[in-house]
Copies of this chain bind each other. A is one copy, B any other.
Amino acid sequence: VEIAVNLNRLKDDLESLSQIGRTPKGGVTRPSFGKADLEARRWLKDKIEEAGLAYRQDGAGNIFGRFGRSDGKVVMAGSHLDTVVNGGKFDGAAGVLAALECLRMIKERKIALSKPLEVVAFTDEEGNLTGDFLGSRAFTGQLNEEDIRRGATQIGPPLKDILAGADLTIDSILGAHGQAPEVEAYIELHIEQAETLDTESIPIGIVDKIAGKHYRWCSFVGKTGHAGTVPLELRQDAFLGLADFALKATRLVAADFYGSMVTIGKVNVLPGSFSNVPGQADFSFEFRSTSKATLRDLEKALFSQAEDVASSRGLVFASRIVDKTEPVTIPERILQAIKDESDKLGYSSFQLPSGPGHDAQILAAVTDVGMIFIPCIDGISHSPQEMIRWEDLEKGANVLLQVLIRLAQ
């Protein structure tokens, strides 16, 4: 179909939205159900209604705007409006507003489609409230009350008060799946959050796999003591256990699981003073792989490594799961659709995996998903320095537009 997005309109939308929750550093702070997010939600509702799309919000606060018939399997596109603290203006927002622009254009051009289309903004993709992907997990029925309570942060007001500010409850979140339509396919446009496309000057990344990950909170426990009296050879220093494990785990993944990731990003040493031998070292432990089998093998190898370190150093290793997502392989028909439409438009494209998780990964449990990556400058995201080239966004949105028409026809 001879049709293209209106870049100026899309650009204006992105600039307007980025003013909501704007930080002095030029970034955006818009955690779900915070003041800025509530304002952004009202803004999106207005945009959806102005475009003549049918607005709907489900019990998890996911926002939808529909074009086309009210029944049948829906072709969806979108992403999320929420951001990390002092994040960028494209992560999430670009996917929602590109989808909005596509639906707006399809409606204006009165394109006849056999399936309904929906733009969607999922709640709390960044996991500021209860862990990543609250909205898409609720939408797809992959969430129970225990998950919500376990994940709820201990900082700030109680979760139910935060939800009340958006007229939601834990029950309404758990009820979102029951209200959900059947989904024909879900396509998400997103900035790459890595350098590959930018370095190679390729405007369209066709995501073929999304990495699954384990978030664990772990500890080595040893024995504290006075740093001036306990001889080095008698210490059960929990931090040295962690140091040993961190290096061995990284070497193990680099050598035997090339392409997988392991990260220790947060560390707390106890009792935590200059002159105490650490009796306990708590740490976040994250590992990722794009293959289910590899992720399983990786888990086994890493935990066996941790136990070896603990037993050789007189420590105890403990670990609990905080969050977990499954690796996803994008179906061939979606890869092909994105590739074909990019080719037809004359845009160069490229298959690549996604290290970060996305709502598409959660949607994969119930439907065929696809992701269109556009380059972000120097791969920077989650930062006020997050930047794109507008022509790349235009190309990405045009591919999304054609793919949505193709899937809904």
Contacts and interface: CB of A to CB of B under 8 A. Distances in A.
A269 B263 CA distance: 12
A233 interface: yes
Interface in A247-264: 247, 250, 253-254, 259, 261-264
Interface string A349-390: 000001111000000000000000000000101100000000
A366 to B, nearest CB: 23
Contacts of A213: 228
Interface in A228-247: 228-233, 237, 239-240, 242-244, 246-247
B244 A228 contact: no
Contacts of A355: 226-229
A165 interface: no
Contact of A275 (B254, B259, B265): B265
A232 B254 contact: yes
A227 B265 contact: yes
Interface in A316-350: 322-323
A246 B240 contact: yes
B278 A286 contact: no
Q: Which of A193, A215, A262, A354 has the most CB of B within 10 A?
A: A193
One complex includes copies of this chain to the number of 2
B193 A226 contact: yes
A142 interface: no
A121 interface: no
Interface string A39-58: 00000000000000000000
B211 A261 contact: no
Contacts of A273: 265-266, 284
Interface in A36-90: none
A129 interface: no
A267 interface: yes
Given A226-B193, A228-B213, A228-B356, A265 B278 contact: yes
A232 B247 contact: no
Given A213-B228, A232-B262, A273-B284, A267 B239 contact: yes
16 contacts: A193-B229, A226-B355, A227-B261, A227-B263, A227-B265, A227-B286, A227-B288, A228-B261, A229-B379, A232-B262, A243-B246, A263-B274, A265-B274, A267-B281, A273-B284, A275-B356
Interface of A: 192-194, 211, 213, 215, 225-233, 237, 239-240, 242-244, 246-247, 250, 253-254, 259, 261-269, 271-278, 281, 284, 286, 288, 322-323, 354-357, 379, 381-382
